A = this chain, B = another copy of it.
Amino acid sequence: MIELNYRNVSAEKVGRENGLELDAVFGEYREKISEIVTRIYAEKDRDGGWKRWLNLGYDKALADSLNQYAHSVKGQFSDMVVLGIGGSSLGGYALLRALLHPYWNQLSDEKRNGLPRFYFVENVDTDQIAPLFEMLDPQRTLFVVISKSGTTAETMSAFMIAKEWLEKNLDAAEVKKHIVAITDAKKGVLRPVADREGYQTFEVPDDVGGRFSVFCAVGLLPAALCGISVAEMQQGIQDLDKALQNPDLSKNPAAQGALIQYLLYERGKPISVFMPYSYRLASVSDWYVQLWAESLGKKHDLNGDVIHVGPTPVRAVGVTDQHSQVQLFNEGPHDKVFTFVAVGKPERDLTIPANQFSEVEDLNYLNGKPMSQLMNAEFESTRASLTSNQRPNLTITLPQVDAYHFAQLLYLLEVQTAIAGELFGIDPFDQPGVELAKKYTYALMGRKGYEELIPVARGEKSEARV
C-alpha cells in the first residue's frame, strides 16, 4: 500500500520557524477534518456536488465496457492519437508514461504485442500536428477525441483536421471506425455529432470535472487500449479508499497531506514542490500541477469575498533536478513545502561494474553497487539536506510503479485536493479565471457578438474588465 511520511514537517525536524507542532495542530484540526471528510464522502452521489469522481474506482461496468472495446479493436491500430487538453490529456499521458516501456513508440509491433503507439495532441501548434499527421497511416490510426462540452477550441479544431484527413484517405464507411468520442452523455455539441456519425462513444459522467476525470474513460480508455489493467487500478483505489474515507485525521493520509500543505501555506510557504524520484513518474507532476493549481488558485472564497489565494505547484524530478533546482530549494527563501514520491524498488536494476575505472579513487565507492542503491541514496541525501536546511518535506512511497499503486498515488492526491479546497474555503471544482481569455479568443477569431472585445484582446485598450 502507498504510504505518507510527514515527520519532516515537524518543528522537531525543521525548527519552529519552518515546521509544525504536529501534536498541537492535529489536535486543533481533528474535529474540522472529521467534518470535512465526512461531508466530502457524503456528497459522492449528490447532483451538482462535483464529487462523483469518488465513485469511479468502483465502476466495474466502466471497466468492462472499456476492456470490451479495447479487446474488439486489438491489432487493428498501430497508432492512437488522443485529442484533448488539460484534464482530458494530462492523466492519460501520465498513466501511459508510467506504465508502458519508456520508449514504447520505438518498439516494434511485435514487442508492443500489437498494441498501438500513442500521441497526445494537447496544443494547437502546427509544428507538432502537421509532421505528426505525415507520419501516420490513416488505415491504422485511431483518434480518441475528448471534450465534455464539445466546444473546446483546441480539441475540436484538431478533431476537424483529423476527420477531414481520414475522409480524404479512407472510404466513407470506414471513417467512423477510426474515431472514438469521450463526451457528455447527453449535453454538448460533440454528442449529437458522435451519435449521428455512429462513433464508438464513452461518457464523461455528470459532475466529474476535467482535472478529476483520470479514472473515467478519459484516462482509462487510452490505458485499456495500450493493455494496462483497469481492474488493477480500480482495486488499488478501493483498497486505499478505506483509509481516505476515515474521518480520523491520525489515520487518513489525504487529510494529513491536505492539512499540512494548508497550514504551511498559511505560514508563509506559498510554493509546493512535487518531486518524484522516478523517470516513469515524471509526468505525474504535470497532472498534479493542474490538479493543485486549478483547484486551489481562486480569487473568491465561498462567501464571495476577494481573497486571491492558492499555492503554486512546482514540478521537479529526482535525481535530475538535484543538478538544477535543488540549489534554490536548499538555499533560497523559506517559501516552499516539498512532496517527494519515492519508489521502493524499480522493475529493473543494473549493477555498476566494479572493474571499469579501478584506478580512479574518486569513483571507487560506486564499484559493484546496484544503480538502484545510488538512486535511493541520492533521494535520502537530498531529503536529509533539505531537512537540515529547515525545509519541511513529505514523502509518499510507492512499493513499486504498477497500475495498482499508480492509481493509489493519483487518487490520494485527488482526495487531498478536495480536502485542501475545504480548508482554503474555496470551491475546488470551478475555474472562473479562464473565461475572460476565452472571450478574448472568440473576439480575435472573429466570432459573432465579440467584436467589441477586439481592441482589449489585442492589448490596444486596457480596460481592466469587460
Contact = CB atoms under 8 A, between A and B. Distances in A.
Interface in A415-466: 431-434, 436-448, 456-459, 462-465
A341 to B, nearest CB: 12
A381 B349 contact: no
30 contacts: A85-B319, A85-B320, A90-B324, A102-B131, A103-B132, A105-B106, A125-B279, A126-B346, A150-B362, A150-B363, A154-B319, A154-B374, A156-B357, A156-B366, A157-B374, A160-B363, A160-B366, A161-B352, A270-B270, A270-B335, A271-B271, A298-B332, A309-B333, A312-B314, A314-B314, A328-B433, A330-B436, A330-B437, A377-B441, A384-B456
Contacts of A2: none
Interface string A72-111: 0000000000000111001000000000011101110000
Nearest to A442: B365
A171 interface: no
Interface stretch (A20-28, A216-224, A250-258, A288-296): A288-296
Contacts of A332: 293, 297-299, 308-310, 312
Interface residues on chain A, size class: 35 or more
A193 to B, nearest CB: 6
A325 interface: yes
A372 interface: yes
Nearest to A351: B161
A135 interface: yes
A102 B123 contact: no
The A contact surface, by secondary structure, is: helix
Contact of A127 (B105, B126, B279, B323): B279
A331 interface: yes
B160 A124 contact: no
Given A107-B135, A278-B127, A326 B434 contact: yes
A297 B456 CA distance: 37
Nearest to A318: B123
B348 A437 contact: no
The 7 closest A-B pairs by CB, nearest first: A86-B323, A297-B328, A381-B440, A365-B447, A377-B444, A310-B332, A290-B324
B445 A377 contact: yes
Residue in A7, A106, A323, A330 with the greatest tally of chain B CB atoms within 10 Å: A323
A322 B436 CA distance: 12
Interface in A118-161: 119, 122-132, 135, 150-151, 153-154, 156-157, 160-161
Contacts of A101: 131
A343 to B, nearest CB: 8
Given A135-B107, A156-B363, A125 B278 contact: yes
B387 A325 contact: no
Interface in A259-308: 270-271, 278-280, 286, 289-290, 293-294, 296-299, 308
A294 B327 contact: yes
B441 A381 contact: yes
Nearest to A291: B324
A330 B374 CA distance: 41
B459 A387 contact: yes
A210 interface: yes
Given A86-B323, A210-B323, A381-B438, A374 B132 contact: no
A38 interface: no
